[in-house]
Amino acid sequence: MRDTLLIIAILLGGAALAIAIYAVARLSRLHRSYALLQVAEGRENYIDVLARTREEFADLNDEVLGLGNALSRTRRELADALRHVSVVRYDAFGDMGGRFSFSAAMLDDKGDGIVLTSIHGRSETRTYIKGLTAGNSDIELSPEELQAVNDAKGEHA
C-alpha cells in the first residue's frame, strides 16, 4: 500500500510539474504580448494608438455627416437657382440686316424664371420681361421667346 501511495504521489508531482511548466510558458508568452502594449522609449503604446485612431475615425465620421448635410442643403438651394439659360437672337424687322434682337430665358429646375426680350429697331430698342411659372407665362410668348424657353428646358423643337 505504501508503494501505491508513493507511485500516486510521484504521478501527482509529475502532473503538477507539467502544469507548472505549461503555466510558466504561457506566462512568458503573455509577458511578450504585454511588452508590445507598453511604451517603448517615448513612443505611444498600442492602446494609445488605438484610442487615438478611434477618436480620429469618430471625428472623420462627424465631418462626413456634416459634408453630407451641406451637400443636401446646396442641392436644395441649387434647384432654385436660375441655371437653365438660353438665348435666341433674331432680326425683329426684316430691313435691319442684322440679328440685334434677342430673347433670353432663365429658369430654375421647376421651370420658374423669366424671359427677357430686347427688340432692336432703327431708332430705338425696347426691352420686355415676362415671368414664368413651371415654364408657362400668363402673358402670351412670342415664337422666339417660346423657343428660348424650350431650349432652356432642354426641349428642342
What residues form DSSP beta bridges with 130? 115
* 137 CB-contact burial (10 Å; exposed 0-12 / middle 13-18 / buried 19+): middle
What residues form DSSP beta bridges with 86? 105
Give me the tens of pLDDT residue by residue for the chain, a chain 157 residues long.
Answer: 788 888 888 999 999 999 999 999 999 888 887 776 666 666 777 777 888 899 999 999 999 999 999 999 999 888 888 889 999 999 888 766 678 899 999 999 888 999 999 998 878 889 999 999 988 889 999 999 999 999 998 886 5
